[in-house]
Copies of this chain bind each other. A is one copy, B any other.
């Protein structure tokens, strides 16, 4: 199976290199050997950034001994090889409601960044202290795309979506207890948002949110 995976990856690489996109390896469920094999070929055959997600610390140690030039983000659990240019403007802003939501927010931020976007972060501004969020309205309004990450009641995207005309990508997290049911409560909150103009991704899917934010941000042009 390795062969097909790797060949296929490169076909995509060719197509995506023209677009300044990164190659992505989803590591969960793959063996350490498989991850290194795929990464070796990507780094040799392709020219843009390379991203690996769902990387636990043990896998990171294994890879770091074998491949050079990587950055590890232990919150996002991502590895990145930055080799392409980075955008100077057209900010994606990643917002998290609580500190426990940060790992998912970081996965979104790293993903968007490695795909060539300029990314900023605004963390721990959940609705339980809404003034914290309101103090940063100017930063929020200047962003081109907002990724809003929240667990528990998942109410933050509704509040922000009601204050801006920017596209909002809402990411429910599995943070919570009791009747949060693994993120279901936050997911339903976001789908039922009173504020129109909010698109929702799967629970804990920081990668998907970062990818969608990048796709949207490129519409505005990305100066590199």
A residues touching B (Cβ–Cβ < 8 Å)?
1, 4-5, 8, 12, 19, 21, 24, 29-30, 97-100, 102, 123-124, 126-132, 134, 144-145, 152-155, 158-159, 161-163, 165-167, 169, 172, 174-181, 183-205, 207-208, 211-212, 215-217, 219-220
Contact = CB atoms under 8 A, between A and B. Distances in A.
A211 B189 contact: no
A153 B162 contact: no
A199 B196 contact: no
A4 B124 contact: yes
Contacts of A161: 128
Given A1-B123, A202-B177, A197 B189 contact: no
Copies of the protein in its oligomer? 8
B129 A215 contact: no
A113 to B, nearest CB: 15
Contact of A217 (B12, B123, B219): B219
Nearest to A212: B197
A193 B127 CA distance: 9
Nearest to A178: B203
21 contacts: A8-B132, A19-B165, A29-B99, A29-B175, A30-B99, A127-B195, A128-B161, A130-B130, A153-B193, A154-B155, A159-B159, A167-B212, A172-B178, A177-B204, A178-B191, A185-B188, A185-B191, A187-B191, A188-B189, A198-B201, A199-B200
Nearest to A174: B178
Contacts of A187: 178-179, 191
Nearest to A12: B129
B192 A102 contact: no
A188 B152 CA distance: 9
A129 to B, nearest CB: 5
A5 B219 CA distance: 35
